[in-house]
Amino acid sequence: MNYFECRNGELWAEDVRVSELAEKYGTPLYIYSTKTLKRHYRAFDKALTGVDHLTCFSVKANSNVGLLRLLGGYGAGMDIVSGGELYRALAAGVDPQKIVFSGVGKQDHEIKEALDADILMFNVESTQELERIGAIAGQMNTVARVSIRINPDVDPKTHPYISTGLKKNKFGLDMLEATGVYSMAKHHPALDPVGLDCHIGSQLTQISPFAEALEKLLDFADQLKSSGIDIRYLDLGGGLGITYNEESPPLPEDLGRAIMDTLAGRQLTVILEPGRAIAGNAGILVTRVIYTKKTPAKHFVIVDAGMNDLVRPSLYQAFHRIGEVIPKGREKLSMDVVGPICESGDFLAQDRMLPTVQPGELLAVFSAGAYGFTMSSQYNSRLRAAEVIVDGDKTILARRRETYQDLIALET
Ligand SMILES: *Cc1c(COP(=O)(O)O)cnc(C)c1O
């Protein structure tokens, strides 16, 4: 559920007219809803009431500092995958003791930065990485808390690009290898193996892959215990799906129930790393129609947002619902909604039944709050969009639109 609704024939973001925001801030424009964000974060927090837990928002889904600051304020931790994301999380005032660091390619400087900040833990993905973290922590006279990311080999049944827990994926370690890695960590003076981690994929629409992964992890935790390694944190990653079109993914409370049923009284702090499920439906992308065009094959609507602003349709054939900001009851036709970029892959929707629109009118692309702005680029030397955050009838500009000066500012 979210707070982008049609009222009296117009789209509103909470208590602000979307058309007013487009007028004031220009298009393409990302609009985020505070109430939605809070509601989604709280749903995760509540889902695990009764067990120690930490909800670490996956910063790669939406890394706007203003949005991270809101989430941090509700009590969220952060799951980061780079030094840049660490910088953003700290700039947003997030407690470092609630930050976990994932990713297969952590570099020395990023490891140092994270140790300097004293983050909660590293989710380690290879033997070499563990050795590197141990060496750097040793040089810094500190101890790095680590989790090993297990690849549980379960099929998340999602798009292949966002499946991460299959044997053939680059993520994590299989359990056999992980056993050795834990014992290395245990005997290393600068490493403290405190957790066990996995993340099996994204946009999961069933609970069963989570439950399957959890059971494998718990079995493994029991094995570790019998060899003298007592972990305290169990990180199940992110990946809960959202409704883009007609999916009906499980709710955070369904996931919570499955976790608590399986956990059966073990004294572990459960960490979740949701990204999409918190931010996805808390954001829309508003775009203005530039031209319409009819060819012998198709009707095209050419809008001012392209694949550089929202790449998911091009990259994953992802479906995003599109609607008019001010509906006028026109006839519907099958059409392609495309951007100005010189690529045939530059589309937001293909063969979609939509009301006929005129140049200058506004369209809203829904479910754009996760993997929207963060995956945007300047391709075709296009200026990245502005981002605003709405809270009730108030709006703040969370990131201004880029300028031509911004485009070349770093070129010497
Ligand atoms: C991407 C990612 C997440 C978040 O995934 P969502 O599908 O957005 O919930 C969590 N953890 C890790 C390690 C990730 O790579």
pLDDT tens profile 211-251: 999 999 999 999 999 999 999 999 999 999 999 999 999 99
179: amino acid identity, one letter? T
CA distance linking residue 155 with residue 167, whole number of Å: 9
The reply to whether 342 belongs to the active site is: yes
Residue 386 β-bridge partners:
29
Spatial distance between the Cα atoms of 355 and 342, rounded to a whole number of angstroms = 25
**Closest ligand 1 atom, residue 240 Cα:** 9
CA 150 to chain centre: 20
* Atom number, ligand 1, closest to the C-alpha of residue 201: 7
Distance 60 CA to ligand 1 centre (A): 8
Angle at 281 between CA 304 and CA 76, to 5 degrees: 120
**Ligand 1 closest atom vs CA 61:** 8
**C-alpha angle 210-211-214 in degrees, rounded to nearest 5:** 85
Give the residue, by CA position, lying nearest to ligand 1 atom 10.
238
Rounded-to-integer distance, Cα 279 and Cα 256, Å:
19
Residue 5 parent element (H or E): strand 4-7
Ramachandran area for residue 69 (φ above 0: left; ψ -120 to 50: alpha; else beta): alpha
pLDDT at 230: 93
Query: Which helix (H) or strand (E) element contains residue 202?
Result: none
pLDDT in tens, 368-400: 999 999 999 999 999 999 999 999 999 999 999
Domains and CATH numbers, the chain: 4-32+280-408 (2.40.37.10), 34-279 (3.20.20.10)
CA of residue 299 to ligand 1 center, whole Å: 37
Residue 303 CA to ligand 1 centre (angstroms): 30
> Which residues are near ligand 1 (CB < 6 Å)?
58, 60-61, 79, 102, 199, 202, 237-239, 273-277, 370
For ligand 1, mutation pick of 273, 276, 278, 312 (most atoms within 8 Å of CB): 273
Probe target for ligand 1 pocket from 57, 58, 162, with the most ligand atoms within 8 Å of CB: 58
Using most ligand atoms within 8 A of CB, pick from 37, 79, 104, 162 the residue to mutate for ligand 1: 79
CB burial of residue 373 (10 Å; 0-12, 13-18, 19+): buried
Query: Residues in the chain, how many?
Result: 412
Looking from the CA of residue 60, the nearest atom of ligand 1 is 1
CA of 16 to the centre of ligand 1 (A): 31
State in Å: Cα 355 to ligand 1 middle: 35
Per-residue model confidence as pLDDT tens for the chain (412 residues): 799 999 999 999 999 999 999 999 999 999 999 999 999 999 999 999 999 999 999 999 999 999 999 999 999 999 999 999 999 999 999 999 999 999 999 999 999 999 999 999 999 999 999 999 999 999 999 999 999 999 988 888 777 776 776 777 778 899 888 999 999 999 999 999 999 999 999 999 999 999 999 999 999 999 999 999 999 999 999 999 999 999 999 999 999 999 999 998 889 999 999 999 999 999 999 999 999 999 999 999 999 999 999 999 999 999 999 999 999 989 999 999 999 999 999 999 999 999 999 999 999 999 999 999 999 999 999 999 999 999 999 999 999 999 999 999 999 9
Q: What is the pLDDT of residue 155?
A: 83
Atom number in ligand 1 closest to CA 202: 7
Q: How many whole angstroms from 125 Cα to the centroid of ligand 1?
A: 14
- pLDDT, position 168: 75
Distance CA 298, CA 92 (A): 46
Mutate to test the pocket of ligand 1, among 55, 56, 102, 197 (most ligand atoms within 8 A of CB): 102
Catalytic residue among 6, 56, 198, 342: 342
CB atoms within 10 A of CB 238: 26
Q: Whose CA is nearest to atom 3 of ligand 1?
A: 238
Distance in Å, CA 241 to ligand 1 centroid: 11
Ligand 1 atom nearest to CA at 149: 13
What are residue 198's DSSP bridge partners?
A: none
What pLDDT sits at residue 164? 74
